Chain A
Amino acid sequence: VKEIKSVSGVIVPMVTPFSSPSGKIDDRSVARIVEHLIAHDVSIFLLGTTGEARSVSKAGRWRLVASVARAVGRRTAVYAGISSDCLADSLKDAACWADLGVTAAVAHVPGFYPLEGDEILRYYESLADALPLPLILYNIPATTHHSLPIGIVDQLSQHPNIVGLKDSERDPERLKKCISLWGERSDFSVLVGWAAHSADAIQWGADGIVPSTGNILPGLYKRLWEAALSRDAQTAEELQAQTNRISDLYQRNRSLGGSLAALKALMSELGLCRPHVLPPLLPLKAEDLRFLREAVQRLDLPTYHSRAQEARQAAPAASRT
């Protein structure tokens, strides 16, 4: 039986909800999404690619993490990104996250120019040495144009302040290799950022999954996690197929950025947050939105907080002032 490590399980890479296109953090949606996630007993990862981290201003990042920390009240683990090309900004964010009670910081490499292996090694070492929080490495070649070399990750895994790797490189051989190297290590977790292969990864021995579709269906991923962990492959595969259908709704035939706009549009249809994304990302086009609306009805997805309810709540508040 596989040991359950402290950094493990279903970790949902949360969207960053905005109340307006200008990027103001929407505290009310934050609270709603947090309750939705905690109800299904999953952990939260803020300011990853799904959280539009590199597009959010410093003030926005701080506001988001504070808002989530307030809403969570230490009921679940909160991981938060510090990725930046500016090392000083990463360190400032991490100091702030530590004050707010964040469990660990997550960082991908600076990606503006190609780095050599020893530059990656030194970068992460200097970050981990200076951080007031444990560090999780974040491998996402689709945006950073760097694949973290496995040998370098192995060296970094020995650092006392580096506790895991979130790997979003969509390569099954690499994933198996990572799990074979570190799956049995009690002090280093392998987290898989490839939602479509969640069930496989858990059965291969991954410590956690980080699926963006978990913003919508945290409960299904939680059941998938439990089924895969208890070697109930059939249930795990069924749940995987169910979640894949929802992932397809907003990911199929879209760029990574386009899928973020579609995810938020879908969450907005379900009453979880507003559809705003930070420019240059564009909101979903009307015809795509129509398609999503039909799909929400066809698939009978659960909605969380209807617009009508929100309007009813807003009206008395306004009349009181």
Chain B
Amino acid sequence: MTTTDKYSGLIVPLLLPLDAGGQIDAESLGRQVDFLVERGVDGLWVNGTSGDFFALSARERSRVVELVAAKRPARIPIIAQCGDNSTPQVIDHAKRALDAGADSVAAVPPYYLEYSQEELKLHYTAVSEAVRMPFFLYQLPQMAKVALDLSSILELAATGVLSGVKDSAANLESYQRLLRRVAETGSPLRCFNGTSSLLGPALLVGGHGLMCAIANLVPDLCKRAYVAAQAARWDEVRELSAQVSELIEALRLPSRIAWAATIAGYKYVLCKLGVIATDRVVPPLKPLTTEERQLLDRKAVSLTRELLAANRPPVSRMETPSM
């Protein structure tokens, strides 16, 4: 009944492909969109953490949305993440994103100062009133250091400010509590889990789908896991979740402390698969070393290829015209 029903299944937080000069690589971005759409994803999350949103200027952010919007079929919704440090800045990003072709917007809490729940609620309310489009909360307390608490989320869902949540807090307990309270209160909130390593457990506890970054590499596998969970084929979900766990381990770079280094690994694998042109990362993140590339070659690249081959969607879906 609501306009947010189309937000379900596998919504992929896109990476930001860069060219050799470190600029946004439109062609690689286009190939990345094709790669995902051909493999049955249900939506695209643009300018998230995997997409280095924090390092982009306002114009660059809307340009990424524009490029993705031009490439995706109309049935695949775009959620543009618009987080920034003040309410006027978020509203500015959100308006630009909608002008650039996004179907809805999202925002991580402001992350420079710490704000009270009252301040955060007013922030989300003001953005929602300014854009009047479906609006998702992006919970990522590991990075933002600030998060909305459960009662704030439910209140904002009840007043129509929030349409959904991407929960990337890597906390199954709080995700399950969110889903339980959403069900108890009959809230229309669309809930997605954004933690790749919790793929199977997150599907087991429920929600409307996945928004995990590992889907950049193995979209068909993630989609299959979602479909299997809908049909309660839990053995299959468990097996696919174990495969994701193996891939995450293969991508681990032992000398790095930053989670952000994962982005470099994803880019390298997609580069080896021919989807994007370079594995360049946004500074100050260090580029991969030769040893790190060799490490990824030994396991992650071949494992990704295997998982892609093993989880190809049925031919009928491949024949669906993408335009």
Contact = CB atoms under 8 A, between A and B. Distances in A.
B152 interface: no
Nearest to A120: B284
Given A255-B114, A278-B86, A113 B259 contact: yes
A280 interface: yes
B62 to A, nearest CB: 14
A57 interface: yes
Contacts of B145: 145
A282 B283 contact: no
B112 A116 contact: no
Interface residues of A, number: 40
Contacts of B119: 257, 279-282
Interface in A91-110: 109-110
B238 interface: no
B164 interface: no
B39 to A, nearest CB: 28
B274 interface: no
B70 interface: no
B284 A123 contact: yes
Interface stretch (A81-89, A212-220, A233-241): A81-89
Contact of A279 (B55, B111, B112, B122): B122
Interface stretch (B87-95, B201-209, B210-218, B225-233): B87-95
B257 interface: yes
Contacts of A55: 85-86, 88-89, 110, 112
B283 A85 contact: no
A301 interface: no
A293 interface: no
B57 interface: yes
B143 A112 contact: yes
Interface string B59-94: 010000000000000000000000001111100100
Interface string A52-90: 101111100000000000000000000000000111110
B115 interface: yes
A112 B51 CA distance: 13
Contacts of B284: 109-110, 115, 119-120, 122-123
A55 B60 CA distance: 19
Contacts of B258: 113-116, 119
A321 interface: no
Interface string B229-256: 0000000000000000000000000001
B86 A54 contact: yes
Given A57-B92, A122-B284, A282-B122, A114 B257 contact: yes
A122 B49 CA distance: 21
Interface string B98-138: 00000000000011111110111011001000000000000
Given A119-B284, A120-B284, A123-B283, A143 B256 contact: no
Interface of A: 22-23, 49, 52, 54-58, 85-89, 109-116, 118-120, 122-123, 126, 143, 145, 255-258, 260, 278-282
Interface of B: 49, 54-58, 60, 85-89, 92, 110-116, 118-120, 122-123, 126, 143, 145, 256-260, 283-286
11 contacts: A23-B88, A54-B86, A109-B284, A112-B111, A113-B258, A115-B284, A122-B283, A122-B284, A279-B122, A281-B113, A281-B115
Given A116-B258, A279-B123, A281-B115, 5 more contacts: A55-B89, A86-B60, A111-B111, A145-B145, A279-B87
Q: Which 10 A-B pairs have the closest CB atoms?
A: A55-B86, A280-B123, A123-B284, A279-B87, A85-B54, A257-B113, A54-B112, A280-B119, A54-B85, A113-B260
